[in-house]
Structure 1
């Protein structure tokens, strides 16, 4: 009798995230990652330049990141690393999950932003560009506030709560913690930057493209179950475990994930939402006169932004 062949060991995939991913945790506990043949090692990153430097240097296999970062490091020579990378988007994850401009306790009016310290990841990141747009919508131009580079969203939340900045962009459960601590939402990205794509699965080159695609598919399948209301308990429990959002806060986060305006996608990448990000870059980071527009044709299938057979040419 021929012995059965043992199953292949799972692919170990090192994934860099800014805020611990509740969706990834749910995909793990429900068996979606195991079914995809994946063992995901989730690692925190301190900033978007650090995340993409780690992708470049092989310290990360995959990034869960803002699609604006993929645009910047693929097309803009002026990105913080000063070099272009063959990075691409594998799948969409969410539309921002509560992304908005939040102010510290005691600051609840737009006029109080004059002279304020605004915390950003880096001044040229996608969330920073959204901050500029939201502040403009409130009638507060960039000339009346000061920027402070503070890194990833959890770090900016800490800075907001301990008084190192007056306002910053928060999302992905960090805004729920901020509100519980008395912070105020001044403007929401879903109201002023729509359509918006907040988070994607991204990969560098082709070495990890297959496993990154399997990850994207597993997260998309899990997202569909969350959106259908099949995993409310599991999602709330994961929000408590990885974000410290216990009880009612975890249930509130679960409902945000199901919000059609800013919650989870089913893996799709909305080109109109990517066009929103390009529009913000053109508005707030214009190229010097006479310089070629790096965004011209960036969304064309042959430019490789989307990691599909057609997208990679």
Structure 2
């Protein structure tokens, strides 16, 4: 019997699809032993990828753009960051206000982000800007990963933040108010990808991508729906009604990308957001212009 291959996977919120793949036996059948490690921030995630502590990452594609092209990224160094597969198109991602707050409260208040230059933060700034709130109208609170931000929002530690991957359901149940869906307002959008930075992990990354995509299709077809509801309840701490809503959302706008295809138009959305908020011009050209014709950015099997 072939040896089981260990995989260190870094993610911000526990992956329901991965948990379903475990429970269905698909992970074992692929000869993988996946250790999912929750990361505190995108810089911490990419530091661990560069150092080899993580093999793969479930992350925003904007992070791949930042660490592949922008020398002024939070770590101050470039990486051969690549996308192996698209995972979801936003998965409930939206801008939320703390219970009882209105947009008027954002002015002069604290807005929670992972780090100021993350893709989710840029989407947040854009949605607030479209509602008449310039970035100078509020203070930024650096709160780390999404589960930390939903806790802070409900505790009143920030007036607004961006949430997704089931955390938005917790916020809604706690009385938070949705300002706008990122996946709908900024469509086409890409929320999560499976990414790699080291050549030695590309092959196992493709194998894991195959498992995740096959599992996603089985969830969407209804074959593994009950397993997905149970996994959402266990891994995300949702009660049964919220877990059922989470699974229903997997098939909606911003839901799972069952074929793993990276939509070039969605990438252009992310590039446009980063160029608007964080332009990096070298020799008269924005560094992200290279993303449009870079064959190494998306690596499929």
Aligning the two structures, in what range does the TM-score lie when normalised by the shorter sequence? over 0.9
Q: Per-residue deviation at 1:92?
A: 0.6
Q: Which residue of 2 aligns with 1:180?
A: 173
C-alpha change, 1:213 and 1:288, in structure 2 (3 Å) is closer
Contact 1:133 1:192 in 2 (8 A): no
Q: Which residue of 2 aligns with 1:3?
A: none
Q: Which residue of 1 aligns with 2:48?
A: 54
Using structure 2 for the length normalisation, give the TM-score.
0.97
* Distance in 2 (alpha carbons) for counterparts of 1:307 and 1:205: 12
Contact 1:119 1:149 in 2 (8 A): yes
Q: Which residue of 1 aligns with 2:5?
A: 11
Q: Which residue of 1 aligns with 2:96?
A: 102
Q: Secondary structure at the match of 1:210?
A: helix
Instruction: Give a deviation string over 1:154-178, Cα, whole Å, max 9, x none.
Output: 1111111222111100000100001
Q: Secondary structure at the match of 2:218?
A: helix
C-alpha change, 1:278 and 1:234, in structure 2 (3 Å) is same
Q: Per-residue deviation at 1:110?
A: 2.1
Pick from 110, 116, 120 the counterpart of residue 113 of structure 2: 120
Contact 1:226 1:258 in 2 (8 A): no
Within 5 Å, give how 1:155-304 maps onto structure 2: 155-259=148-252, 261-266=253-258, 267-287=260-280, 291-302=284-295, 304=296
Q: Secondary structure at the match of 1:164?
A: coil
Q: Secondary structure at the match of 1:14?
A: strand
* Distance in 2 (alpha carbons) for counterparts of 1:171 and 1:32: 26
Q: Per-residue deviation at 1:111?
A: 2.4
Contact 2:91 2:191 in 1 (8 A): yes
Instruction: Give a deviation string over 1:36-76, Cα, whole Å, max 9, x none.
Output: 21110000100000000000111101001000000100000
* Distance in 2 (alpha carbons) for counterparts of 1:232 and 1:140: 40
Pick from 62, 69, 72 the counterpart of residue 66 of structure 2: 72
**Unpaired stretches in structure 2, ≥5 consecutive residues:** none
Q: Per-residue deviation at 1:10?
A: 1.5
**Unpaired stretches in structure 1, ≥5 consecutive residues:** 1-6
Using structure 1 for the length normalisation, give the TM-score.
0.93
Deviating beyond 3 angstroms after TM superposition, the runs of 4 or more aligned structure 1 residues are 288-292
Higher helix share: 2
Task: Report how many residues are paired.
Answer: 300
Contact 1:117 1:147 in 2 (8 A): yes
Contact 2:70 2:280 in 1 (8 A): no
Q: Does 2:125 align with 1:132?
A: yes
* Distance in 2 (alpha carbons) for counterparts of 1:271 and 1:36: 29
* Distance in 2 (alpha carbons) for counterparts of 1:288 and 1:202: 25
* Distance in 1 (alpha carbons) for counterparts of 2:284 and 2:112: 30
Contact 2:105 2:159 in 1 (8 A): no
Q: What RMSD in Å do the two structures reach over aligned CA positions?
A: 1.3
